[in-house]
Structure 1
Amino acid sequence: MFGTSTVVTQVGKIALSHSKTWFEEGGDFWIAPIILTQNARDRGKGYLRQLLEMPFKRKELSLLSINKLMHLYNCAGSFKEKEKRKTIRDFLGKVVGRRAGVNIRKRMTVKIRYSKEVRKSGIRNVLITKIESCGLHPAIAGIVRRKSRIVWRRNRNVAEILCNYKQHSKMPESLYTCKHYDLPAVKGHVLTRIGDIPGLPALVLNGKNVVRPKIETTKEEISSGLQSGLASVLNGQLGEQLSDLQIADCFSGERDQHCSADEGIVLAVKNKFRDLIVTQVDRNTGDLVLRCPSTYQHGLDKLFTWNVAYDEVSRSEAVIMKETKTDFENQGLHKLVNWNPKGRFGNAYVLPKHKDLEKWRPIAPACSDPTTTGSHWIARALNLLLEKLRGAMHFNLTATARLKQNLKKAETKLQQYGKDTLTISEGFDIKEMVTSLPHSAIMGALNWLLGEWEKKGFQKITVCKRRKQVTLGRKTYGKGYRKFSFTYIRSFISFELQHTYTKCRGKMLKQVIGVPMGKNSSPPLACILCAKYEESFLRSLGSDRKLVHGVRFMDDAMLAVVCNRRKESSVDMAREILRKFGSCYGEKLSLVRTDDGSNTIDFVGSKLTIVPGRTRFLLEPKIKNDWKSGWAKCNRDWTSKDGGQKEEEEEEEEKG
Structure 2
Amino acid sequence: MKEKRRIEEEKKAKEEDELRRNQDFARKAEEFKLQLRVELMEEWRRSNAKAEKAVNEEKKIRKTTQKAWSTRRNRKGKKTKRRGGESSGDTDTDSSSSTESVTSDTTLSRDSEMKITKGRPRGRNSKKRRARDKGKNNTGKNGTTNGTTLVRTHERGECSRPRLTETIKVMNAQEARGDDETEPRTPLTGGYKGLSAGCSQKGLIEYCISAHKIYSAKKADSLRKICEKKGLKYTKKPEVVEMLARHQVELAYDGFEEVQEKTPTDAKAKTKASGSPRREFTKDRIVSEKQTPKQNSLHLPKEVVHVLTRFSKLDVPRFVKNSKNVTRSARACSDRTIGEAVREATKHLAQGAAISVSPDKVFTRGPVQATAWTDDEVRIWNARFQGLVLAPIDRNQGDTAVMCPILYRRGFGKTFAWNNNYETVGDLKSEPGLLKEQKADFIKTGLQKVGGWKADGRLGTAYVIPKHKDLTRWRPIAPAPADLAGLAQRRIAKALHCLLKRLPAHCTFYLNSIAELAERLQATSQRLRTAGCDQAMGRCYDIKEMFSRIPHGAVVQAMQQLLRRYEDDDCKQVRVSFRGKLCVISNNKKQMEGYVGISLKTIMDGVNYDLRHTVVKCGTTLVRQVFGIPMGKATSPILASITCAMVELRFIREIGADRRLVGGWRIMDDITIIAGTNDNTRNGEYLDNLFQAFKGIYDRHLEVIRKDECGLTWDFVGGTMMICGEPLQLHYTPSTKNTGALYENGTLVFQTMQDYDSYSPKSVKKAVLTAMIKRLWDHATSKQLVLGAIGYAVCEADLRGYPPEVSLGALADLAKAVPNQALQRLYEAIAYSARTRRTPSYR
**Displacement of 1:578 after TM fit?**
0.5
**Displacement of 1:613 after TM fit?**
4.6
**Displacement of 1:393 after TM fit?**
1.1
**Displacement of 1:510 after TM fit?**
0.4
1:465-504 residue pairs with structure 2 within 5 A? Answer: 465-473=578-586, 474=588, 480-504=594-618
Alignment match of 1:208 (pick from 324, 327, 342): 324
**Structure-2 residue corresponding to 1:193:** 310
The aligned amino acid for 1:400 is: I
- 1:283/1:625 contact within 8 Å kept: no
In 2, distance between residues paired with 1:230 and 1:587? 70
Q: Are 2:499 and 1:355 aligned?
A: no
Q: CA distance change for structure 1 residues 393 and 598 in 2, over 3 Å: closer, same or farther?
A: closer
- 2:393/2:468 contact within 8 Å kept: yes
**Structure-2 residue corresponding to 1:369:** 483
| TM-score for both structures, normalised by structure 2 | 0.51
Q: CA distance change for structure 1 residues 609 and 391 in 2, over 3 Å: closer, same or farther?
A: closer
**Displacement of 1:616 after TM fit?**
1.1
In 1, distance between residues paired with 2:332 and 2:784? 60
Q: Are 2:383 and 1:271 aligned?
A: yes
- 1:437/1:589 contact within 8 Å kept: yes
- 1:427/1:559 contact within 8 Å kept: yes
In 2, distance between residues paired with 1:350 and 1:487? 35
Q: CA distance change for structure 1 residues 211 and 611 in 2, over 3 Å: closer, same or farther?
A: same
**Structure-1 residue corresponding to 2:456:** 342
**Structure-1 residue corresponding to 2:705:** 592
**Displacement of 1:429 after TM fit?**
0.6
| TM-score for both structures, normalised by structure 1 | 0.65
In 2, distance between residues paired with 1:183 and 1:243? 60
**Displacement of 1:223 after TM fit?**
7.7
The aligned amino acid for 2:414 is: K
Instruction: Give 3-state SS (helix, strand or coil) of 1:435's partner.
Output: helix
In 1, distance between residues paired with 2:364 and 2:413? 54
In 2, distance between residues paired with 1:227 and 1:376? 44
Instruction: Give 3-state SS (helix, strand or coil) of 1:445's partner.
Output: helix
Q: Are 2:405 and 1:293 aligned?
A: yes
More strand by share: 1
Q: CA distance change for structure 1 residues 398 and 287 in 2, over 3 Å: closer, same or farther?
A: same
**Structure-1 residue corresponding to 2:417:** 305
The aligned amino acid for 2:304 is: K
**Structure-2 residue corresponding to 1:521:** 635
The aligned amino acid for 1:484 is: I
Q: CA distance change for structure 1 residues 251 and 288 in 2, over 3 Å: closer, same or farther?
A: farther
**Displacement of 1:245 after TM fit?**
5.2
**Displacement of 1:398 after TM fit?**
0.8
Moved more, 634-643 or 488-497: 634-643
Q: Are 2:568 and 1:455 aligned?
A: yes
Q: CA distance change for structure 1 residues 258 and 543 in 2, over 3 Å: closer, same or farther?
A: closer
**Structure-1 residue corresponding to 2:689:** 576
In 1, distance between residues paired with 2:413 and 2:705? 25
Instruction: Give 3-state SS (helix, strand or coil) of 1:343's partner.
Output: coil
Q: CA distance change for structure 1 residues 613 and 342 in 2, over 3 Å: closer, same or farther?
A: same
Instruction: Give 3-state SS (helix, strand or coil) of 1:492's partner.
Output: helix
Query: How many residues align structurally?
Result: 471
> After superposition, what is the alpha-carbon deviation per residue over 1:590-629, rounded to whole angstroms, capped at 9, x for unaligned?
2111111242121111111112453212222121366733
- 2:425/2:622 contact within 8 Å kept: yes
The aligned amino acid for 1:188 is: V
- 1:608/1:618 contact within 8 Å kept: yes
Q: Are 2:372 and 1:261 aligned?
A: yes
In 1, distance between residues paired with 2:369 and 2:470? 39
Q: CA distance change for structure 1 residues 625 and 435 in 2, over 3 Å: closer, same or farther?
A: farther
In 1, distance between residues paired with 2:317 and 2:784? 50
Alignment match of 1:602 (pick from 715, 739, 750): 715
> After superposition, what is the alpha-carbon deviation per residue over 1:394-448, rounded to whole angstroms, capped at 9, x for unaligned?
1000111001011011101112664x72211010011222122222221111111
**Structure-1 residue corresponding to 2:755:** none
**Displacement of 1:554 after TM fit?**
0.8
In 2, distance between residues paired with 1:560 and 1:602? 14
- 1:408/1:640 contact within 8 Å kept: no
In 2, distance between residues paired with 1:223 and 1:308? 59
In 2, distance between residues paired with 1:381 and 1:214? 47
Identity %, equivalent residues: 32
The aligned amino acid for 2:686 is: M
In 1, distance between residues paired with 2:454 and 2:381? 41
In 2, distance between residues paired with 1:341 and 1:192? 42
1:70-469 residue pairs with structure 2 within 5 A? Answer: 178-198=295-315, 200-218=316-334, 221=337, 244=354, 246=356, 253=364, 256-257=367-368, 259-263=370-374, 264-315=376-427, 316-390=430-504, 393-415=507-529, 418=532, 421-469=534-582
The aligned amino acid for 2:419 is: N
In 1, distance between residues paired with 2:451 and 2:664? 37
Q: CA distance change for structure 1 residues 391 and 357 in 2, over 3 Å: closer, same or farther?
A: closer
Q: CA distance change for structure 1 residues 327 and 248 in 2, over 3 Å: closer, same or farther?
A: farther
Q: CA distance change for structure 1 residues 637 and 436 in 2, over 3 Å: closer, same or farther?
A: closer
- 2:390/2:403 contact within 8 Å kept: yes
- 1:227/1:242 contact within 8 Å kept: no
In 1, distance between residues paired with 2:392 and 2:739? 15
Alignment match of 2:655 (pick from 518, 541, 556): 541
**Any unmatched runs of 5+ in structure 2?**
1-282, 747-772, 787-819, 829-843
**Structure-2 residue corresponding to 1:505:** 619
The aligned amino acid for 2:314 is: I
Q: CA distance change for structure 1 residues 459 and 326 in 2, over 3 Å: closer, same or farther?
A: same
In 2, distance between residues paired with 1:182 and 1:627? 30
> After superposition, what is the alpha-carbon deviation per residue over 1:160-212, rounded to whole angstroms, capped at 9, x for unaligned?
xxxxxxxxxxxx999676555411122322222213222x3222111122223
The aligned amino acid for 1:639 is: T
**Displacement of 1:499 after TM fit?**
0.3
**Structure-2 residue corresponding to 1:72:** none
- 2:332/2:338 contact within 8 Å kept: no
In 2, distance between residues paired with 1:415 and 1:193? 49
**Displacement of 1:350 after TM fit?**
1.5
In 2, distance between residues paired with 1:508 and 1:481? 36
The aligned amino acid for 1:328 is: F
Higher relative contact order (CA 8 A, sep 6+): 1
Instruction: Give 3-state SS (helix, strand or coil) of 2:686's partner.
Output: helix
**Displacement of 1:248 after TM fit?**
6.0
In 2, distance between residues paired with 1:391 and 1:212? 49
Q: CA distance change for structure 1 residues 508 and 221 in 2, over 3 Å: closer, same or farther?
A: farther
1:46-57 residue pairs with structure 2 within 5 A? Answer: none
Instruction: Give 3-state SS (helix, strand or coil) of 2:742's partner.
Output: coil
**Structure-1 residue corresponding to 2:61:** none
Q: Are 2:646 and 1:532 aligned?
A: yes
In 2, distance between residues paired with 1:391 and 1:216? 54
The aligned amino acid for 1:520 is: A
In 2, distance between residues paired with 1:558 and 1:401? 15
> After superposition, what is the alpha-carbon deviation per residue over 1:509-549, rounded to whole angstroms, capped at 9, x for unaligned?
10011221111101111111111100111122122222111
**Displacement of 1:242 after TM fit?**
8.4
- 1:300/1:504 contact within 8 Å kept: no
The aligned amino acid for 2:312 is: G
- 1:346/1:369 contact within 8 Å kept: yes
**Structure-1 residue corresponding to 2:15:** none
**Displacement of 1:260 after TM fit?**
4.3
- 2:438/2:613 contact within 8 Å kept: yes
**Displacement of 1:343 after TM fit?**
0.7
